Chain A
Amino acid sequence: MAKGLWSVIGKSVLGLLALVALVFLMGIVMGFLGAAGVVTMDGAVLWIMTMFSVVIMAGAFWVAVAWMRSIDEAAREAHKAAWFWGGSAGMAVGGVGVILAALPQAETLRFAAHDGRTDPAAYMAAGAFGMMMLMMIGYAVVWAWWWLARR
């Protein structure tokens, strides 16, 4: 196990607990503001989720940096190779979908993105999520291959 890994895991758990507490506190504050008519329910949810998404993504990036600093150079090389080759391959697969979705003929397609939603924002989120998943699959495959080939 990489040196400093337990420190990264411990700080990540503490960070997640702090985030849960922050969301809880913001929920109380937004509840009061909503009762006072300062914000609407949708506005309160948007504020809380904006804070949540910014903090959790910044935290995830911090974990990635701390993780990369804690592992040795070969392990780092595996991640670089996985990011470039796996991520690029996944993006190439997703790129086919992007091109097809951009065709005028795709306008006739009707399907629910998620939660039965068919609005543009839902399609954007579904497309971005799909691309991320394909890149992550490519990343995982190349990372596993890199290590298996060097055992």
Chain B
Amino acid sequence: MGLVVAGAALIDMHNRLKVLRAERDWSQAVLAERLGVSRQTVNALETGRYDPSLPLAFKIARIFEQPIESIFSDEGALP
């Protein structure tokens, strides 16, 4: 669960990267290779300790062939 400083507010971000990667039977290294980032970065993304830039988020969405909002959500989007 990542905390992003957006203005004065702290926002909890969530993502489904680990689930989507597992569904495709990809290792973190494979996903890292496809995204052009390090495996450590993929791990930081999956554990919610690092939130991606917009360009990287779009790249992730393209690779998983899903809209960004179905992969990433903030606490306001949770039921």
Contact = CB atoms under 8 A, between A and B. Distances in A.
Contacts of A3: 36
Interface in B17-57: 36-38, 40-41, 43-45, 47, 49-50, 52-53, 56
- Kindly name the residue among A74, A147, A150 whose own CB sees the greatest number of chain B CB atoms within 10 A: A74
Contacts of B49: 149-150
10 smallest A-B Cβ distances: which pairs?
A: A74-B41, A150-B44, A72-B37, A150-B49, A74-B50, A72-B41, A73-B53, A72-B38, A74-B44, A150-B50
Interface of A: 2-3, 71-75, 77, 147, 149-151
6 contacts: A73-B41, A73-B52, A150-B40, A150-B47, A150-B50, A151-B43
A8 to B, nearest CB: 16
- Chain B: interface secondary structure? loop
Contacts of B56: 73
Nearest to B41: A74
A72 B36 contact: yes
A151 B39 CA distance: 10
Contacts of B36: 3, 72
Nearest to A3: B36
Contact of A73 (B37, B43, B47): B37
Contacts of B50: 74, 77, 150
